[in-house]
Structure formats: C-alpha cells, structure tokens
Amino acid sequence: MSIEVVFHMNRGNGDSSYASNSHIQGIGLQRSLSVLQEAINRIAKDLNGFPRCFKIADLGCSSGPNTLFVVTNILDIVHDMCSENNSQVPQFQVFLNDLVENDFNTVFRSLPAFYSKLKKKKGDKRGPCYVYAVPGSFYSRLFPDENIHLFHSSYAVHWLSQVPQGLENNKLNIYMAKTSQTNVFEAYRKQFEKDFTKLLVLRSHEMISGGHMILTFAGRSKPDPTSEDCCVIWELLAKSLVDMVKEGLVEESKVSSFNIPQYTPYEGEVRDVIQKEGSFSLHSVNGFALSWPTPGINTAKFIRAISEPLIATHFGSFIMDVLFKKYQEHVIDHLATKKGMNYNLIISLIKK
C-alpha cells in the first residue's frame, strides 16, 4: 500500500476530543525549549550575531493552540539575547509547514492576537515578524538552497511518507506487534531509514552551513521493536478492531489490510541514519518518557485525535464511536495492571 500520509501529528485544535493530544504536545514542546535556546545561542555565536533576517521553519505545524507556541518562544529567546548583548533585534521570517489539507486559515486567524501579544510584550524594540504558510510534505523540497537558519519539528517526523511495502502477513495487526513476523519489523525499519534519510538530505540543501534542526518525535527506549513503550498502545486498538470483526461490524479483510504509517525508532537507529547520510552533526539526544493520559478515556481521546483521519478513510467514519468505546475499555483494563508509557526523543542537529 503506497499512500501519501494524509496528516502529520496534530497539535490539537481546541476541540475537547483533542485536549489530551494538545497536552502531550505541550509537554514535549516545553521539554525542547532548553535545546532550542542552546541551538539559537550557537547560531548567534557562529554567525557573530544574528543575521539581519532570522529565518525559522516549523515542519508539521498543524493548526491548533500550540502552533505558534514554539515561534513565540524562539522570538523571546532572540529578544532576550539581543537585550543582554545590547544588539539590534533581527527581523524574523517564520515559515509554517504542513500538508495541503492543514487548516492554515485557522492559523492566519490567530495571527492578529499573536502580533498583539508580541507588541505588548516587546513594544517598539520588537523585531518585525512575518509569518508564511508553506503547504507540502516535508519529504519534498520546500525552500531555496541555503535559506533557513533554524528548522523545528514537534511530533511529526515519526509519521512515515507511506505504509511500508510487504505487510500482507501482518494480518489482524495494525502496526508492529508481538505477533508480527520478522519481515514486518524489517519493512518498517527500512521505510523509516528511507524517509528520515530523505528528510535530512532535503533540509541540508535548504539550510545554511551551521544552521540547526531540532526534532521532537515519538521513539522507543529499547532496541526491541515490540517493547512496551512502542507498540502496546496500537495493539490495544487492533484488539478493538478484532472485537468489531467478531461482532460482524467490520470486515476481517479490512483490518488485515490496514497498517499505521508510523515508526518509533530506537536512539541507535536515529544515530545510524544521521551518520550514514552525513550532512549533519548530532549535537545532542535527549530521551524522556511520558505516562499515558489518565484516566483511560483520555488515552482513547489522544489516540483518536491522531489516528481518526487514517481510520475513517480506510474503514469509514461510522465505526469511530463504537471503536473507541471498545478501545477505552481495553486501555482501562491494561492500566489496571500495568503503567502505560510513551517514549520520546529530542535531537539537535547542526548542518556541516
């Protein structure tokens, strides 16, 4: 199955069904702030100060309440540094990227409030900030050569460009699972390596030498692709779909032909791709675990928020309420005996 993934990780749109998702995103974004600050400090040092126009790109920006969170913090960091050094604040060009299906109009409607807050906080000392939408997949070229100083992405790059090929024997699983065959793990790993390599190659052309790229994404803490912090959350969803098959609500063939286009890599896999591609130096890697949202209903809302477009496209939207009611029950049963954890990676890369 070869498809262009129809969404990147949604940062929340303010709807209650996205609240847990937005909360998880917010924690990850907060965790990345110190890494961002270090990267911005290093860019200014290497360039002997900020350029006249500081260019920032956010990949997989979505259209929720967290969309401009990172931008706001980057501007704050730069303003504070310029104030400390008694130097002129640069102009800013901010490029918000996501697929063409993203609701950029919602982002644009939020800009007057964003500019108003910026003016209130920084007054006349603020640097002019120009925000642009850049629709398109980040697995394609987005910018001219040697153009961007800082790339950022939060919870997007673990989504693959397509479902891996050769998963026909992954029947009644929807992701890597304990019952999956070896070829399934290999297919997912190869697709990740292909996509992540392409991401690095493309961004290396678009970034200035010495530019930085900060990526936050879902990963796993162990080399084992069936580790608890990797696949259990999807195994429970597969179990819910199988329940619906048994009740005659979903066709078995539909479940057997559905797989999630995501890969949660181990740190060593990320390092290997970066080293082999060769355009970037890996400045830092930070891993951290987050508990599943509690109670179980919030975990169900979280997974529904990030997977509904794919599930509805494949099965039809009519199954959603019943499916996630069953999923909620399986999650509650799981959390009664085990602690649900998701593992996350923040990597900082420097263009050679």
**Are residues 62 and 9 in contact, defined by beta-carbon separation less than 8 angstroms?**
yes
Residue with tokens 């501007």: 75
Contact 306, 21 (CB under 8 A): yes
φ, ψ at 349 (rounded to 5°): -120, 145
Q: What is the token pair recorded at 330?
A: 């399986």
Give residue 127's pLDDT. 85
The pair of structure tokens assigned to 110 is 């939020």
Distance CA 329, CA 333 (A): 6
Cis peptide leading into 265, omega within 30 of 0?
no
pTM recorded for the entire structure: 0.92
Give the pLDDT confidence of 35-60 residue by residue, as tens digits: 999 999 999 999 999 999 999 999 99
Ramachandran angles phi, psi of 276, nearest 5°: -70, -40
Token pair recorded at residue 85: 């050094």
Among residues 220, 200, 221, the alpha carbon closest in space to that of 211 is found at 200
> For the segment 115-167, what is each residue's pLDDT rounded down to a tens digit?
999 888 888 777 899 999 999 999 999 999 999 999 999 999 999 999 999 99
Residues 132/58, Cβ–Cβ less than 8 Å: no
pLDDT for 27: 80
Whether 312 has a pLDDT exceeding 50, the answer reads yes
Please provide the size of the chain in residues.
352
Nearest of 72, 62, 65, 120 to residue 92 by alpha carbon: 72
Position 10 scores a pLDDT of: 43
Helices within 92-165 (DSSP H only): 104-122
